[in-house]
């Protein structure tokens, strides 16, 4: 089996030459007469340039086929092979990676498993983020969770910068929030997921994840790019970690934002996350508050769904974008809102209700123009954030 990678080179770069450098230099390399007796074996490890073209803007695309035997069925060795040393050699960007279906790690739960845990099968899921991000006590977290959970929220997560800090240690946050989750379950029959941010040094992080799950965590949040794809894979394949893993895109801009260097967002947040073991992946939506290419967003969506991974468009999501989001995603999407829920003019509970009002209004095919909206949470949200 082989792995195909598309590299894009800007005008002025000899793409044919550079592709050959990558194909050889990122695989077996060169050899001399001393290894003539090993030539057949050495050649079996070489990459091969299998295609190329130039687009109307003068950018060149080269496709290289790599032997799957060169890597270890994980994302870390894959990245080392396809772009490791060469990433420092000049202008080039990895814009697509095509992996065999069996490569890497499948999600433990994914779309179907998360829906089963929540017993919600016929609509998008609504997710919130604890705000303020830092400075809240464990009791503050529990109070916020209680308000939004009783309003109908499906999932809440820690902010990605919230670690195991003195103001609200991870176990204390979990203990306080777990009481609310149990209360909501008892009172309403509904399950609410709380994605706890799992952090720590390499020798402690997996151990901490085990502890969190034993203490009742029903979801985990991982900053995959700062802690590493190997950590994601370890969590995803660990039988004791029987909860969904939400992958956060922190640091992705440093790897992906340049047009001529790095790796495309659709590769990092789509292909690699989908084959790395994530159950749900957060990434910017193009109608949010971060600049993002709609075509890249769709490629991420499709890569994730191809392996039953939940897409989670984020960053500036509010009730006014629900029509656009449902047009782009249909029902298999998690709408993730921070300020879009927590900064609702009336209350966080009203922020949650506004999303559900928006979902119902789309279902009924009704307008989102402010003058057509009845008084209530959705109208107040649209007056604050508008419609996209």
- Alpha-carbon distance 249 to 233, whole Å? 16
Catalytic-labelled residue, pool 20, 41, 85, 384: 85
- Alpha-carbon distance 190 to 181, whole Å? 9
Strand order in the sheet with 2-9: 48-54, 60-67, 2-9, 92-98, 261-263
Instruction: Say if CB 341 and CB 316 are below 8 A apart.
Output: no
Please count the other Cβ atoms lying within 10 Å of the Cβ belonging to residue 92: 24
- Alpha-carbon distance 15 to 310, whole Å? 36
Q: What tokens were used for 77?
A: 């060795």
- Alpha-carbon distance 295 to 266, whole Å? 9
Listed residue (348, 293, 285) closest to 317, CA to CA: 285
Between the alpha carbon of residue 324 and those of residues 145, 226, 299, 342, 362, the distances in Å are 27, 31, 17, 21, 10
Scan for tokens 């952090």, then name that residue: 199
85 is catalytic: yes
What are the residue numbers of the active site? 85
């Amino acid at each position: 089996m082989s792995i195909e990678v598309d590299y894009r080179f800007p005008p002025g770069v000899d793409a044919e030459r550079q592709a050959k450098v990558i194909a050889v230099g990122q695989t077996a390399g060169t050899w001399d007469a001393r290894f003539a007796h090993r030539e057949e074996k050495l050649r079996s490890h070489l990459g091969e340039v299998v295609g190329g073209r130039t687009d109307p803007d003068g950018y060149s695309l080269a496709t290289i086929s790599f032997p799957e035997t060169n890597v270890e069925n994980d994302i870390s060795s894959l990245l080392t092979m396809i772009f490791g040393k060469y990433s420092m050699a000049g202008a080039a960007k990895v814009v697509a990676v095509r992996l065999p279906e069996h490569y890497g790690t499948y999600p433990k739960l994914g779309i179907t498993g998360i829906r089963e845990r929540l017993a919600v099968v016929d609509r998008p899921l609504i997710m919130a983020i604890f705000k303020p991000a830092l400075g809240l006590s464990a009791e503050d977290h529990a109070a916020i969770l209680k308000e939004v959970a009783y309003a109908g929220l499906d999932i809440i997560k820690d902010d990605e910068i919230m670690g195991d800090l003195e103001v609200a240690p991870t176990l204390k946050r979990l203990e306080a929030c777990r009481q609310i989750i149990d209360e909501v379950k008892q009172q309403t029959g509904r399950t609410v997921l709380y994605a706890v941010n799992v952090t720590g040094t390499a020798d402690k992080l997996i151990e901490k994840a085990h502890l969190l799950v034993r203490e009742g965590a029903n979801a985990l949040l991982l900053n995959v790019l700062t802690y590493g794809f190997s950590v994601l894979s370890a969590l995803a394949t660990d039988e004791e970690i029987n909860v969904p893993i939400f992958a956060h895109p922190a640091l992705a801009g440093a790897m992906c934002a340049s047009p001529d260097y790095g790796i495309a967002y659709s590769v990092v947040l789509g292909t690699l996350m989908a084959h790395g073991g994530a159950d749900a992946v957060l990434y910017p939506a193009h109608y949010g508050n971060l600049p993002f290419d709609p075509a890249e967003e769709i490629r991420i969506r499709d890569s994730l769904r191809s392996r039953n991974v939940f897409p989670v468009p984020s960053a500036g999501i509010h009730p006014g974008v629900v029509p656009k989001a449902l047009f782009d995603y249909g029902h298999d999407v998690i709408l993730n809102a921070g300020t879009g829920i927590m900064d609702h003019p009336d209350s966080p509970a009203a922020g949650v209700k506004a999303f559900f009002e928006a979902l119902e209004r789309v279902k009924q095919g009704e307008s989102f123009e402010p003058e057509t909206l009845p008084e209530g949470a959705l109208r107040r949200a649209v007056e604050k954030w508008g419609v996209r």
